[in-house]
Amino acid sequence: MIRAHENPLALRAGALSILVHIVLVAILLLSFNWKAVQPANVAQVELWDSLPTLQPVIEPTPLPPEPPKPEPVIKEEPKPEPPPEPKAEIEIKKKPPVEVKPKIEKPKPEEKPKPDPAVKAKEEEKKRQDQLKKLQQMLAEEDKNMQHEQQKKDAQASTQEHAAQSAAAAKGEVDKYIGLVSSKIRPYVNKQLCGSGKPELTYEISLLPTGEISGSPKLIKGSGITACDDAVDRAIRQANPLPKPSAEILGQVRDLILKFRPNDDN
């Protein structure tokens, strides 16, 4: 490590390095936040003073409300389609062309609200320009501002509601995905090789965005019965590829810890 009194430039170098670190951290935090929790915020911010435009955004999505984002349309498709049976999963996987069709239909209702925010934004700019010109109507303008602020708050509240709903929605999706993974692997677990007790074992896997398992399952904690550990390893491999996780939750489900209790009932 460089000592300050040895090198006069050390302080500056240190400060620069800290600055760089802070910048990096900031970027990281920003990217994390955007990915996991409140992407809606970014899009919503532009709309918060136009209540009427918000409502049509909420309604057209029968699923957990996720206002239009550029790509997420794709993710909504796998949710209603795959029933928790592995067979259905396999069928879906084998017929990717079929998936494309429903995708095309869904974006349509989404696209309607999209032009609106852009239009609204332009209208606002016009309003502000008018305000500057109309100095004599300051009181009226102040009233208007107050109204706007009120609307802002309302919008913000509903924005936060949305954010909360999105977070809950994201968690709901993750839980749902976990359920799919569990029910896909379970039927392959040959519990006959796990003795008569109640063994527990844990594997770790990493997923590719396609749902395929990357590399080999890794045994974290064995059951004490080698044949049981091997049987579960085979079950995981047979269940490969797992259901494809949506891009929204991919970050959270990329690494999974699989805890097995083959001889238990619940």
Smaller CB separation from other proteins, 85 or 204: 204
Using CA atoms in the order 251, 254, 255, 259, what is the torsion angle rounded to 10 degrees?
A: 110
In angstroms, rounded to a whole number, what is the distance separating the alpha carbons of residues 129 and 127? 5
Applying CB under 8 A, the site for other proteins has a residue count of 56
Which residues make Cβ contacts (< 8 Å) with residue 49, sequence separation at least 6? 124, 148, 151, 152, 155
Please answer whether residues 66 and 40 qualify as being in contact, where contact means their C-beta atoms are separated by less than 8 angstroms: yes
**In this chain, which of 12, 21, 108, 134 binds other proteins, going by CB under 8 A?**
21
Site residues for other proteins, 60-79, by CB under 8 A, read none
Say whether residue 214 binds other proteins (CB under 8 A): no
Smaller CB separation from other proteins, 30 or 100: 30
Name the amino acid, one letter, at 34: W
From residue 36 to residue 55, the character string flagging contacts with other proteins as x (rule: CB under 8 A) and all else as - is: x-------------------
The beta-carbon contacts of 10-19 under 8 Å, at least 24 apart in sequence, are: none
Say whether residue 251 binds other proteins (CB under 8 A): yes
Please answer whether residues 263 and 194 qualify as being in contact, where contact means their C-beta atoms are separated by less than 8 angstroms: yes
Reference 173, options 240, 243, 102, 245; nearest CA is 245
**In this chain, which of 54, 170, 189, 213 binds other proteins, going by CB under 8 A?**
189
Say whether residue 194 binds other proteins (CB under 8 A): yes
Please answer whether residues 197 and 251 qualify as being in contact, where contact means their C-beta atoms are separated by less than 8 angstroms: no
Say whether residue 16 binds other proteins (CB under 8 A): no
Say whether residue 17 binds other proteins (CB under 8 A): yes
In angstroms, rounded to a whole number, what is the distance separating the alpha carbons of residues 63 and 133? 45
Say whether residue 104 binds other proteins (CB under 8 A): no
Say whether residue 256 binds other proteins (CB under 8 A): yes
| Residues engaged in binding other proteins (CB under 8 A) | 1, 4, 14, 17-18, 21, 24-25, 28-29, 32, 35-36, 174, 178, 181-182, 185-194, 196, 204, 216, 225-228, 230, 233-235, 237-238, 251-266
